[in-house]
């Protein structure tokens, strides 16, 4: 039965007591206190009330009509409610095992009737303090749980971000791989371009040779020889023709003359055929070089620098003759064989020779010179230098000339030196340049390991 002073919030005390004397006693004790309370006289009714409301302190008589106090207490504890309920059992029994039964059922304290109001108040105070502590704890636990939840949601957001980042990292990695592949392809295109460039030049050399051969053959003295053979064939009296005929008398001298002209023709044709064959071989080798780049790594050969430099300059014989360029080679005595991929070295030399030819074109005919030398700079390193006295390089361009695409020529492509520097590095060497300045010539030095 609700009593005055009871609040809608959590009630302080629920008294379950059937004895009229004690009911009056409790009313007297609590009338003057600030506690809210109510009194129920039946055990079953008390149990029902406890389903919907939860006081802080339960003063529970042991013997009750309906459900007894110990059963109420046990059942309450079985509910495992979140807010703590401090249970004080009231009993007239004083036997130790009875008291232990009460504690086993979940009682927090007990009082043996009759009792002092002061003791009751003190025990209530203890109960209240415990409930307050428990409430404070609960709110702290709730706070912690909320913080935990926040942390968990932060962690899950972090995990999402992490996933995003690792996905982005993967995307970046893929983009990088694509870039590497693009760069590799660009490198291949660059090589293809320089191969085509060289092949173009070699084809020019070959075509010049074949034009000369055609001209020599076209104007050959062989037709004169044919006519002479026909004339001689018509003679029935050969000795008389030689001795008495004016034309016959000139035959020996004529033959000597034709022989010497034809020997010269023969020499020229065989020289040009040689250049043609060389050009053809170099074209084959340069194309093979590109194939080397496309797949299998190149094979090294022990190469004689004088032979290889000789081959390279031979490719320019016609071109240098046409432009009046004087070329000179000097090889240090006892140069060792150098272990290199010879096509690579050849390609570098061809590029350097082309550039030197272009550089000397600004000079007067007769002044144009290129000098090639090879020597050991350390017991394990050879240096090939290619110097020209041409247009030279301005100081600000000395570094840039190796950049891909750098050119100062109207029809230049600027791939040559970049490719040469790359090739030199691949061969374990280096390509460097020196020039005192504009119009003062340039010297390229290719250093290579001997082994």
Name the residues that contact ligand ADP, by CB under 6 A: 351, 355-356, 359, 388, 390-393, 401, 406-409, 412-418, 442
- Gap between the Cα atoms of 173 and 217, Å rounded: 64
Residue 297 CB, nearest approach to ligand ADP (Å) = 25
Residue 184's binding partner out of Mg ion, ligand ADP, none, with CB under 5 to 8 Å set by partner kind: none
- Gap between the Cα atoms of 434 and 449, Å rounded: 21
Between the alpha carbon of residue 323 and those of residues 185, 197, 271, 282, 389, the distances in Å are 36, 19, 19, 22, 14
Residue 420 CB, nearest approach to ligand ADP (Å) = 8
Residues 122, 142 contacting (CB under 8 angstroms):
no
CA dihedral of residues 159, 162, 168, 169 (deg, nearest 10): -140
Rg (CA), the chain: 57
Residue 358 CB, nearest approach to Mg ion (Å) = 7
DSSP 2: B
Provide the CB-side half-sphere exposure for 262 (13 A, CA).
12
Residue 228 CB, nearest approach to Mg ion (Å) = 52
Residues 434, 443 contacting (CB under 8 angstroms):
yes
- Gap between the Cα atoms of 446 and 251, Å rounded: 60
Residue 220 CB, nearest approach to ligand ADP (Å) = 39
Q: What does DSSP say about strands 86-91 and 326-331: parallel, antiparallel, or unpaired?
A: unpaired
- Gap between the Cα atoms of 300 and 344, Å rounded: 10
Residue 296 CB, nearest approach to ligand ADP (Å) = 27
Q: Which residue is nearest to Mg ion (CB)?
A: 416
Return the SS3 of 21: helix
Residue 263 CB, nearest approach to ligand ADP (Å) = 40
Q: Which is nearer to ligand ADP, 221 or 361 (CB)?
A: 361
Give the chain's end-to-end CA distance (angstroms, integer). 111
- Gap between the Cα atoms of 2 and 39, Å rounded: 7
What does the block give as tokens for 441?
Answer: 């010539």
Residue 400 CB, nearest approach to ligand ADP (Å) = 8
Residue 267 CB, nearest approach to ligand ADP (Å) = 34
Cis peptide before 114 (omega within 30 of 0): yes
Please report the beta strands in 71-190, taking only residues with DSSP state E, as ranges in sequence order: 86-91, 109-112
Residues 283, 195 contacting (CB under 8 angstroms):
no
Residues 14, 56 contacting (CB under 8 angstroms):
no
Residues 429, 421 contacting (CB under 8 angstroms):
no
What does the block give as tokens for 227?
Answer: 């006519």
User: Tokens 């009682």 label which residue?
Assistant: 107
Residue 11's binding partner out of ligand ADP, Mg ion, none, with CB under 5 to 8 Å set by partner kind: none
Between the alpha carbon of residue 446 and those of residues 252, 294, 320, 375, 385, the distances in Å are 58, 24, 22, 11, 6
Q: Which is nearer to ligand ADP, 102 or 416 (CB)?
A: 416
Binding site for Mg ion (CB under 5 A): 355, 416
Residue 160 CB, nearest approach to ligand ADP (Å) = 51
Helix axes 117-218, 20-31, angle to 10 degrees: 70
Residue 5's binding partner out of Mg ion, ligand ADP, none, with CB under 5 to 8 Å set by partner kind: none
């Amino acid at each position: 039965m609700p009593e005055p002073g009871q609040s809608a919030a959590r009630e302080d005390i629920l008294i379950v007591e059937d004895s009229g004397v004690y009911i009056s006693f409790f009313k007297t004790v609590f009338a003057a206190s600030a506690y809210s309370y109510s009194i129920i006289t039946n055990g079953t009714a008390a149990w029902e009330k406890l389903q919907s409301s939860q006081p802080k302190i339960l003063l529970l008589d042991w013997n009750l009509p309906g459900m007894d106090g110990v059963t109420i207490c046990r059942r309450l504890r079985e509910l495992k409610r979140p807010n703590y309920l401090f249970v004080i059992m009231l009993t007239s029994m004083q036997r130790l095992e009875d008291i232990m039964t009460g504690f086993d059922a979940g009682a927090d304290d007990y009082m043996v009737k009759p009792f002092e109001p002061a003791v009751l108040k003190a025990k209530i105070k203890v109960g209240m303090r415990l409930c307050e502590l428990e409430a404070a704890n609960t709110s702290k636990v709730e706070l912690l749980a909320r913080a935990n939840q926040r942390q968990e949601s932060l962690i899950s957001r972090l995990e999402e971000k992490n996933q995003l980042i690792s996905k982005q990292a993967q995307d970046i990695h893929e983009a990088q791989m694509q870039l590497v592949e693009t760069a590799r392809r660009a490198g291949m295109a660059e090589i293809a371009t320089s191969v085509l460039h060289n092949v173009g030049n070699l084809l020019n050399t070959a075509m010049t040779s074949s034009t000369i051969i055609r001209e020599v053959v076209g104007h050959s003295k062989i037709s004169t020889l044919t006519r002479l053979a026909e004339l001689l064939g018509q003679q029935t009296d050969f000795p008389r023709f030689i001795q008495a005929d004016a034309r016959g008398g000139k035959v020996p001298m004529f033959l000597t003359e034709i022989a010497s002209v034809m020997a010269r023709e023969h020499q020229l044709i065989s020289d040009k055929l040689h250049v043609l064959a060389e050009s053809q071989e170099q074209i084959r080798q340069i194309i093979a070089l590109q194939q080397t780049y496309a797949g299998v790594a190149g094979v090294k050969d022990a190469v004689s620098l004088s032979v290889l430099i000789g081959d390279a300059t031979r490719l320019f014989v016609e071109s240098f003759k046409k432009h009046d360029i004087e070329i000179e080679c000097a090889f240090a005595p006892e140069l060792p064989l150098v272990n290199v991929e010879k096509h690579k070295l050849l390609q570098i030399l061809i590029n350097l020779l082309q550039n030197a030819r272009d550089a000397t074109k600004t000079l007067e005919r007769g002044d144009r010179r290129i000098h090639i030398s090879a020597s050991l700079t350390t017991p394990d390193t050879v240096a090939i230098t290619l110097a020209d006295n041409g247009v030279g390089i301005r100081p600000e361009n000395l570094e840039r000339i190796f950049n891909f695409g750098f050119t100062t020529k109207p029809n230049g492509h600027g791939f040559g030196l970049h490719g040469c520097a790359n090739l030199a590095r691949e061969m374990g060497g280096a390509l460097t340049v020196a020039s005192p300045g504009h119009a003062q010539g340039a010297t390229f030095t290719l250093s290579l390991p001997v082994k």
